[in-house]
Each structure stands twice: as structure tokens, then as C-alpha cells.
Amino acid sequence: MTKNQLVIRLSDSEATNFRRFGPKAANQALLSQSGLCTPGGFCLSADAYRAQLEHLGLTEIADKAVSLGFLDARQQISQIRMALFGEPISSDIQQPLLQAYDRLVLDSGTSVAVRSSSIMEDTQGASFAGQFQTFLGIDKKEDFLTAVRACWGALWSSRALRYMESKDITPADTAMAVLVQPLVDAICSGGGMSQTAGGGMSVTATWGFGESIAQGEIVPDLYGLDSDGVPIETYTGRKTHSIHCARHHGSPSPTKVNSEHVSKRCLDDGQLRELSFIMKKSEKLMEGPVEIEWALDAAGFKLLQARPLHLGPVSVPDKLWLQHPSLRGQPGGIGWGTGRACVISCECELGRVAPGDVLVTKVAGPALSQVLPRVSGVVAELGGSTSHLASLARERGIPMVLGALDATSVIPDGAQVGVDGVAGLVRWIQ
């Protein structure tokens, strides 16, 4: 292995090798090389992660941690994570990495985004949505190297390890590549699903970067399209804040959205048809339904990510439920479930959630993924169908409704709740 093999541009044919660069980066390379517009950039091979483990003398410690298991290896896990994040990168890795960074900044004239790309990420049944790290607006070499180290260390975070344990994956089964791209100066961003359980396609959108959707912090616009990509439904969201970076410097920061833009459409029908074409082409390239992330700048759409979409069979609720109060929100895209409402106001109350409960919460952030294995449904006041938590819920076949206004105040704690993850409806029996 030579130094140059550690870092490869997305335009290089070798970049589509998901075993070396992870499906996230490899899919970006495939889409870009097939004519779809992406930000471009380069990727750092998972071989660099393995080489850094060896350079720091962590390989045997990592093997021991895997053999002990998550609960019994907390000391080793902490040692690995702290060393990966805190120790300097080997010069054999750092030299070609900084050369690629300098070239990218010079060519693009902007700051960069640094994103994890685990070799098990975005695979069928294991999206790892929201489990790792993304850094936006990186414009200094020191911060860039710190972001790379943080992506490596994220493989050993408690959240990622819990997720891996639920999927019968260990850190020994995977490794961390890193995707580096020019930052898109986004007017608006969002997600899309090339198929929905109810037929057709769907698109979500918000102002600025899509992180506010991914983290479940706002209610995005939701657009329904038929199977030919013709827009048929529009639900304008509650986009109370947007996230932006200064083009040449500065970390992401939230900005309050002007009142006239909170419920204003982000996309027109022509732009939605263009996104439907992007989703259809991505679907053909990836040989199955896809979930995408996109951004729109002054030059047009940029495809940021495409991963396999997880959909299950449509379940029909009993007619008894139709007689009871309801709230409408954005469908998570899968299933029907019932259970006792557990209404929480903060993550500190997650210990109250019992097996079979329906979790009712304000923010649908990825931190809630830890309770997904024991709930029968999720209802959230904020968030949209392409948030990270919604992706994780679809993997598990858990019905979810997001953007359900005032859910935590109108659904009584302890009530019997029915969640329709296809229609986007929540009903309850008091």
C-alpha cells in the first residue's frame, strides 16, 4: 500500500470500492461518475483508519474490546476513542491527506464538509443514520485534521456501539473511511424517497442546510409526487430556523427564519420534477428504492447522499380506531402500531419508556435511537420523514409520525395510541 492509495478523488474509478471507502463515499463516486451532480471531493480509505490504529498501538486493545463485549470493555473503548481523537495522525497518512485538502480548497474556493463513511454504513438493513459524525464549514488545516480524527473516534462512540450491537455487528467487522467535499452554499436542502408505502415518491425541504431535518429540529415541507414524478400534494412545514455557514469561514449556526418564509414553499413544481428524475436515476444505479439527501445552491441541485430505502408491507388499522381523536403529521413511511402513550419532555425521561410503549416527544433526534428496540411507535412534534430517526425506525419496521403539532400536550400520558406510519395519522383512546 502506497501513500497515494490512501486518498482518492471521487472521480477515480477506484472510489466506487465500498470495501475501502464505505458505501456512503462509494455511492457518491458512482452517482457522480454516472452523470449526476454531486459536490465532488475525495475520500480517505478505511485502510488509513486501520493504519492509525496500528500506529497508536491500539490494534490488540481493539481486539480485546471486541472479545469482551460492549458492557465489559468500557475502559478499552474509552482508551481507543480518546487516542483516535487526541493523538496526531501518522505522517504517512497526514501528508497525502493535507495535499488533497489543499488541492480541494484551491479548486473549490470554499470551506469543506467532512463526513464519516464506515464500510458497513448505508448497507441494506444498516443505514447507521445519525450514528457517526459530519462536520461543516471546515476552513483550517488544524480543524480539518481534528474532524478526521473525530470521524475515526465516532466508530467507538456509545451510540454507534449500541447500534452495532442491535445489528450483530462489532467494530472488528467494520472500519472508518472519511468523505471530504466542498461545502454547498445551500439555499435549501432536504431529502427524498424514490418510493413510499402508499405509492409514488416524497420530498422534504427546509431553508439552508439539511441538518435541521436530519436532527428532527424543525418540520420541513413535505411534497408528494406520483410514480411519474408529477407533484400531487404539498404540505408546507414550520421551518422556524435555518442553518448556514459563511461561504469562506465559520461553523454552522442557526438563524431565525423570517415569518413570511416559515410556511413558504422551498421548491416549485419544476424543481420537484427535477428531483424525481434524480431519484429515478439513483434508483437504477443502486438497483432498488433509495433515500436521498440533496442541497440546492445557485447552480442547481447537488446530490449529497443516496442509500437503500427500507419499506415494509402496508398495515390497515382496525375500523374501531377511526372513531377516535386524531392528529396528522408527516408519515415515517412504514407500518401501523399501537401501545400505551409515554409522553416525555426531554431525553432525561427516556428511562420511563417501557417495552411496547408509543413514545410521544417534541424533538425526533437520533439520540432517541436507543429506545427504538422497545417501542411500538413514535410520535414527534418536530421532524420529517427523511430525518435520521425516521430512517432508523423504517429499518426496524416501527411506525412513526413526525411534525404532529402539539402532540405532547393533547395526547394524554398513558392513553392507548394507534400510529399509522403510512397515512401520517395518530389516534388515541382516553
Instruction: Report the distance separating Cα 73 and Cα 343, nearest Å.
Output: 34
Amino acid at 8: I
- CATH number of the domain at 319-429, please? 3.50.30.10
What strand order describes the sheet that includes 176-182? 7-9, 42-44, 176-182, 112-118, 134-138
Which amino acid is located at 385 in the chain? S
Helices (H), 241-348: 259-262, 269-286
Instruction: Give the C-alpha distances (Å, rounded to integers) separating 166 from 70, 334, 369, 398.
Output: 11, 20, 11, 15
Q: Which fold has domain 188-308?
A: D-amino Acid Aminotransferase; Chain A, domain 1 (3.30.470)
Cα 8 from Cα 31, distance rounded (Å): 16
Could you tell me the three cell numbers for 402? 413526525
* pLDDT at 391 (0 to 100): 87
**What is d(CA 88, CA 94) in angstroms, rounded to the nearest whole number?**
9
* pLDDT for the residue 320: 60
What are the pLDDT digits (tens) for 39-68? 999 999 999 999 999 999 999 998 888 888
What is the mean pLDDT of each successive set of 10 residues along the chain, which is 430 residues long? Answer: 75 95 95 96 97 94 83 86 94 96 95 93 69 89 96 89 82 90 96 90 94 90 94 94 70 85 95 97 94 96 92 65 82 88 90 95 86 93 90 89 95 94 89
Tens of pLDDT along 91-134?
999 999 999 999 999 999 999 999 999 998 766 666 676 678 89
Domain with CATH 3.50.30.10 in the chain: 319-429
Query: Distance (Å, rounded) from C-alpha 337 to C-alpha 315?
Result: 9
| Residue ranges of the chain that CATH labels 3.30.1490.20 | 3-182
How far is it, in rounded angstroms, from Cα 83 to Cα 15? 28
- Calculate the alpha carbon distances from 406 to 90, 207, 261, 326, 365 in Å: 51, 23, 21, 12, 17
Phi, then psi, of 7 in degrees rounded to 5: -125, 125
How many helices (H) and strands (E) in the chain? 13, 21
Cell numbers for 36: 449526476
The per-residue DSSP string of 117-128 comes to EETTTTBTTB--
Q: Please list, residue by residue across 319-353, b when 16 or more beta carbons sit within 10 angstroms of its beta carbon and e when fewer do.
A: eebeeeeebebbbbbbbbbbbebbbbeeeeeeeeb
Which CATH number describes the domain made up of 3-182? 3.30.1490.20
Q: Map residue 86 onto helix, strand or coil.
A: helix
| Cα dist from 407 to 372, 411, 417, whole Å | 19, 6, 11
| Domain limits, CATH 3.30.470.20, in the chain | 188-308
